[in-house]
Amino acid sequence: MTRPSDEAAPSGPLPRFAVVGHPNKGKSSLVATLARDASVAIAPHPGTTLVAREYPFRIDGVPLYVLIDTPGFQRARAVLAALESRARETNASAADRPRLVAEFLAMPGQRERFPDECELLGPIVAGAGIVYVVDGSVAYGPQYEAEMEILRWTGRPSLAVINPISSRDHVTEWEAALGQFFRIVRVVDAVNADLQAQSRLLKAFAELEAGWRAPIEAALAALERARVGRRIQTARAIAEWIAQALVYDVERRIAPDESAELHREALAAEYHASLARSERAARERVQAIHGHAALEARADELALLEADLFAEGTWLVFGLTRRQLVSAGAAGGAATGGVIDLAVGGASLLLGVATGAVVGGVLGFLGAQRLPELTLVDRPLGGRLVRYGPARSPGFPFVLLGRARLHARLLSRRTHARRDPVEVEAVPAAALPLDAVFRKRLERDFARLRAADDAALARAEATQALADTLQALLAADDSESAEAT
Ligand SMILES: Nc1nc2c(ncn2[C@@H]2O[C@H](COP(=O)(O)OP(=O)(O)OP(=O)(O)O)[C@@H](O)[C@H]2O)c(=O)[nH]1
Ligand SMILES: [Mg+2]
């Protein structure tokens, strides 16, 4: 196990928490969420975790505490019976129980007889705190008592987490039962807990042992700093992408007598494909900022789906679900104009579904007359160019921003326990409001970027101005989502 070598790390041994319980109750999910580690093995079937494994929670490479993922109890009753008979034989008192558990684990042959119990009890006997995870959607039963009793015998500080996997139906019952074994009982959704819920749980961890308070408080502070850092980086990534897209064009040299029109189709295709690629790259950057770099493979599948939708002439319009789109064909041309006006006015944001392939669709629903123009450029030193772009529609950057903002919001809320693809579902316009102040500020930022065009310094400043606006907007989105939970 790596120990902090950095000066910023708290001194003394790191707090360690063994996450234990019955198989398939979300132990690994809780570890992945708290450690912000998407590499933790999670699967729908029991017996996924077979060995105890440490996941240090690190900020800037410095470990602040350690979570230990463990296999579920398999033979709790047999282990408890063995411990009890040993206690009777040796006339042991309650004070002897922690030692009896340690001796039990050390006895030859135990790893073969009780591999799971040895794995999960090992770290506890070695000094870890106990986090006992149960599923609040299934009924409490006495079979759990042997597990809790064994944990009590270790004498280690402990708390219980009720994870409501599919409902909260049995939470009250569990609270009554767990309250007899654990001083602290919390209800936490292991897969969907937001940062506030995670922080509350960490505060409970800090109460388990006096020496753990300071390091956990340091972890909490680091967590908040990291969140702000992610927001700054995300705003910057989106600003750079929009700055690039706003002035993007494609050019081709043509012969003096050639018609520019002949090149329209090829240039438009190149323009759309390139913009789609750069949107994809921007999304990957935002995903990496959130520690979700591995999501890209799954986004590919989505891209295919959307490319098909686009090929059929369907537009993914904000406010319509994918199913509605598929069944209804597409939003009609007339309706589209109306939606665009709303988007430009800021009353509603026009959003496609995730991934870059839809950029073509986005341009599509900006209306034909709003597509980038084809221009003929006579060059001073001779020769002619035909140019496609940049997109001058005032709605264009708002569409790009709306999509990026929704994507960023999904990522900032996404825990590392989730294994489903990112689905930028159609969200009601009201979910991503853009008030008049932000809209005006953004209009100014976009105008500045368009005016700056090739002037490097002006461009850099305008990009930073947009990043500052976006950071404030993302902060507002974050606090709004925190209030909603
Ligand atoms: N919807 C939802 N699913 C959950 C939640 N917690 C766990 N799951 C699902 O339940 C399954 C088991 O989760 P794991 O985290 O692998 O459970 P475990 O306790 O580590 O399981 P073992 O390692 O096999 O003992 C996975 O399919 C999870 O996605 C939850 O809070 N909500
Ligand atoms: Mg597991």
Q: Are residues 197 and 233 in the same domain?
A: no
Per-residue pLDDT, averaged over 447-456, amounts to 89
Per-residue pLDDT, averaged over 218-238, amounts to 96
The pLDDT-based confidence of 394 (bands split at 50, 70, 90) is: low
For the CA of 25, the closest atom of ligand 1 is 19
Q: What is the DSSP letter of 373?
A: P
Q: Could you tell me the CATH number of the domain that includes residue 166?
A: 3.40.50.300
Total domain count for the chain? Answer: 2
The pLDDT-based confidence of 186 (bands split at 50, 70, 90) is: very high
Q: Are residues 420 and 295 in the same domain?
A: yes
Distance 128 CA to ligand 2 centre (A): 18
Domain boundary pick from 208, 243, 260: 208
Ligand that comes closest to the CA of residue 415: 1
Q: Are 290 and 414 in contact (CB under 8 A)?
A: yes
223 within a domain of the structure (yes/no): no
For the CA of 163, the closest atom of ligand 1 is 31
Q: Are residues 274 and 181 in the same domain?
A: no
Per-residue pLDDT, averaged over 139-161, amounts to 97
The pLDDT-based confidence of 381 (bands split at 50, 70, 90) is: confident
For the CA of 45, the closest atom of ligand 1 is 24
Distance 44 CA to ligand 1 centre (A): 6
Q: Residues lining ligand 1, CB < 6 A?
A: 23-29, 42-44, 46-49, 71-72, 163, 165, 189-191
Give the pLDDT of residue 459: 95
Q: Are residues 151 and 33 in the same domain?
A: yes
The pLDDT-based confidence of 232 (bands split at 50, 70, 90) is: very high
Q: Are residues 172 and 243 in the same domain?
A: no
Looking up tokens 């149960």, which residue turns up?
A: 134
Distance 456 CA to ligand 1 centre (A): 50
216 within a domain of the structure (yes/no): no
- β-pairing, 62-69 with 16-21? parallel
33 within a domain of the structure (yes/no): yes
> Whose C-alpha lies nearest to ligand 1, atom 13?
26
Summarize pLDDT for 128-137 with one digit per residue, the tens.
Answer: 999 999 999 9
Give the pLDDT of residue 296: 57
Give the pLDDT of residue 324: 32
> Whose C-alpha lies nearest to ligand 1, atom 27?
44
Q: Are residues 383 and 466 in the same domain?
A: yes
Q: Are residues 155 and 262 in the same domain?
A: no
Tell which wins on pLDDT, 406 or 449. 449
Per-residue pLDDT, averaged over 379-401, amounts to 80
* Cβ atoms within 10 Å, residue 23: 15
Name the residue range of residue 89's domain.
16-208
Give the pLDDT of residue 462: 97
Q: Are residues 200 and 237 in the same domain?
A: no
Domain boundary pick from 208, 242, 259: 208
Is the four-CA dihedral 424, 224, 163, 190 of positive or negative sign? positive
281 within a domain of the structure (yes/no): yes
Residue 470 in this model has a pLDDT that exceeds 50: yes
283 within a domain of the structure (yes/no): yes
130 within a domain of the structure (yes/no): yes
Ligand that comes closest to the CA of residue 416: 1
Q: Are residues 164 and 127 in the same domain?
A: yes
d(CA 351, CA 280): 15
Summarize pLDDT for 252-311 with one digit per residue, the tens.
Answer: 999 888 888 899 889 988 888 888 788 888 988 999 999 998 775 445 444 433 433 223
Q: Are residues 149 and 271 in the same domain?
A: no
DSSP string, 53-105: EEEEEEETTEEEEEEEE-PPPSSHHHHHHHHHHHHHHTT--GGGHHHHHHHHH
Mutation choice for ligand 1 from 20, 24, 419, CB with most ligand atoms inside 8 A: 24
Distance 121 CA to ligand 1 centre (A): 20
Per-residue pLDDT, averaged over 480-484, amounts to 57
460 within a domain of the structure (yes/no): yes
Residue 425 in this model has a pLDDT that exceeds 70: no
d(CA 48, CA 46): 6
Spatial CB neighbours of 33, under 8 Å, sequence gap ≥ 6:
190, 191, 193, 198, 415, 416, 417
Task: Determine which of 68-72, 183-187, 196-200, 312-316 has the lowest per-residue pLDDT on average.
Answer: 312-316
Q: Are residues 285 and 425 in the same domain?
A: yes
Residue 417 in this model has a pLDDT that exceeds 80: yes
How far is Cα of residue 209 from the mean position of the Cα atoms in its chain? 30
The pLDDT-based confidence of 333 (bands split at 50, 70, 90) is: very low
Q: Which residues in 145-157 are b (16+ Cβ under 10 Å) and which e?
A: bbbbbbbbbbbbb
For the CA of 21, the closest atom of ligand 1 is 19
Ligand that comes closest to the CA of residue 20: 1
Residue 3 in this model has a pLDDT that exceeds 80: no
5 within a domain of the structure (yes/no): no
Give the pLDDT of residue 187: 98
Domain boundary pick from 208, 243, 263: 208
Spatial CB neighbours of 201, under 8 Å, sequence gap ≥ 6:
34, 161, 186, 188, 193
The pLDDT-based confidence of 380 (bands split at 50, 70, 90) is: confident
Mean pLDDT score across all residues of the chain: 81
Residue 99 in this model has a pLDDT that exceeds 90: yes
Q: Are 163 and 135 in contact (CB under 8 A)?
A: yes
Distance 207 CA to ligand 1 centre (A): 26
Q: Are residues 355 and 469 in the same domain?
A: yes
For the CA of 42, the closest atom of ligand 1 is 16
Residue 227 in this model has a pLDDT that exceeds 50: yes
Give the pLDDT of residue 260: 87
DSSP string, 103-154: HHHHSTTHHHH-HHHHHHHHHHHTT-EEEEEEETTS---THHHHHHHHHHHH
> Whose C-alpha lies nearest to ligand 1, atom 3?
165
For the CA of 24, the closest atom of ligand 1 is 21
> Whose C-alpha lies nearest to ligand 1, atom 32?
165
Give the pLDDT of residue 364: 38
Give the pLDDT of residue 482: 56
